[in-house]
Structure 1
Amino acid sequence: MKVLVVLLIALAVIYCKTPLPMEKKVYIRREHSLIKPYSSMSMDTPMWDYSGSTIVSNNEIRLTPDHQSKAGRVWNTIPLMSRNWEILMEFKVHGQGRTLYGDGFALWYSHERQLMAGPVFGAKNGFNGLGIFFDTYSNHNGEHSHGHPYISAVVHNGTQTYDHDSDGTHNELAGCQCSFRGQKHDTFVSIKYINNILTVHTDVRGKSKWTKCFEVKNVVLPVGYHLGLSASTGDLADNHDVKMLKLYEVDLVEGQTYNVDEALKLVPSAEGEPDRPHVHPKKTEKGSSVLWTIFYIFITLVIVFSAIGIGIIVWQKKQEDRRRKRFF
């Protein structure tokens, strides 16, 4: 009996020390992370560069204030060499607008550090890499059925362009509607890139409950690109605040290989939703806008002339009544 007990204890110890088949180890990479408290005395944060309207305080990095026509960026100076990784980001998008606000912000994994302003959420167009877009523009563009705020992923190889006028829906990989804007508490997003699978989860309720936004397989991204964040406002505005960004390196999964030289030469690509026709809303809607304008002018003129006509009739009737009273 004692031998059996000892044997069971030994098996239990061996089992506890044996990792689960799908268990993966993660390691935080501080050189690719933004962890508060930040230095509000200067813009010199180790391994990160700032540009544009970015403002740093002790507890947050504000990419744009709640003012029109602002754009801010922050870029990691060290290329990311991890094959598998996960990003955990805490952020807050808020402002005075109740029904109209914008435009949004982006998380980048890009070949080029885009320190100059551009039309894609404050960064340049024709990028090479991955963009995760947090679009808050309440008066959405283009022809699509989803509402805003909206989170989407786009992979470009430097030859494609992102059309902000149609919300980039003609070449996004996937996306989901997510009410992260205007929350009283901070919101969180998890972005995982493991074994060529891109997965995005959100926690916008502040209850530590994650909701899957989307998952895209066969996403090919090279190593050696840079992490970045950017945001912009136009005629509409918002505060775009990043509270924390942590990047974790994830161990290779079973059967996955990693050759640095080969991984550096990869060309960004993905097998998401097929490209949709590139629609220019301003051109397609121009005729209907003119017709609506003419219709509104016509209705206004009818109302004005009707009011004038009624006024004249009433005035004439009063004049006739006065003449009758004087006659009698």
Structure 2
Amino acid sequence: MTVVGACEDEDYWPEFGTLLVSDDGAHEGSGPFSRQDTRVQPCGTIVRTGHGWLEGAAGDGPHVVRMEVHDAAPGDDSSEWEDVVEIPYRSLSGKVGLGYVTGGFCGDVCTLPAAGAYRVRAARRQLAEDDADDLWLLRFWPAEPSPPRWFRRRAAAVPPPDPGWRTLFGYGVTDLLWGLWAARDDTGGTTTAALLRWGEQHGRSTTWLDEPLPAPGPHELDPADVARQVGCPVPATLGGMLDLFVAAGVLADDGGYREPSVTPNPEDVLELPVERRSRLIEQRDLDRFRSFAADLVSVVMWGGTEQTLAGLAERTLVAREDVRATLEWAARGDLLHIAGPLDGQFVTEVGPSTG
């Protein structure tokens, strides 16, 4: 194995949380291999690829991104990284560069041996320096397409479900819940004093917890109605919402506010309008499954149509029950078509694109 080309950007700022590598001056075409002509979540859990593009789940940045061109598969160094996945890439021009979602390149272009089929090993780890988030290493080498495979994950591909309490009220209440999380101590608890200190450090007034609650917007729950349902006094101020969340089971109060071991879903505590209840459940499933569903679509579109749950779990480093739940969600959303029993061998196809 020999490195035949390389380029690096030590200060890459992604747009919309997406690291983008694309072919120089080549059109992507259409269908599932097009970046624009798809209904799946950009990036997947780590990276997603097609004809002339690679997307990475990058967050805000800045990042250090290095691309290397190899003449054959590089040696295994997965233990040195937090995230590692190998995935096909088809180059349409023979030149690839780091760029932006809204268009254009932002540095040097790497020259591949020719247009055609490649495999990419995308590896990522957090940097110790305070002035950069992650180090990315993208290594390309010639190879015929075969389904992607994940070797390391630093975060769960299918996160635990978020009950969704933050989505039910106005900005002030959402900000309060965020502050409780951000100001927590080593034990996971937050006192009112710690919350006030956090507020002062982040531009809130010294009396922000005593500010009156604004009237709820058209798509927000009325705290007064929620208080009546959970049996607590109607809150008049932002700080009064803390007692409401304790009564609802969203917070535990043992001298400091903390999340309980199990947070109830709003629809199990409150009488919600049918439409609001449905939207809440749909959003919860969307947030939980959409990124890993994009990984599963990548497996299928790059040749992995015949599968078993055990095989997908091993390929993706995801528990079988989470693979099953994500497949079922993707099938309901028409992202994947599945023929055959999930408990046995089944055949999958990518659902219709937007084109």
Q: TM-score normalized by structure 2?
A: 0.26
Larger radius of gyration: 1
Tell me which of the two structures has the higher relative contact order, counting C-alpha pairs closer than 8 angstroms and 6 or more residues apart.
Answer: 1
Q: Considering fraction of residues, name the structure with more helix.
A: 2
Q: TM-score normalized by structure 1?
A: 0.27
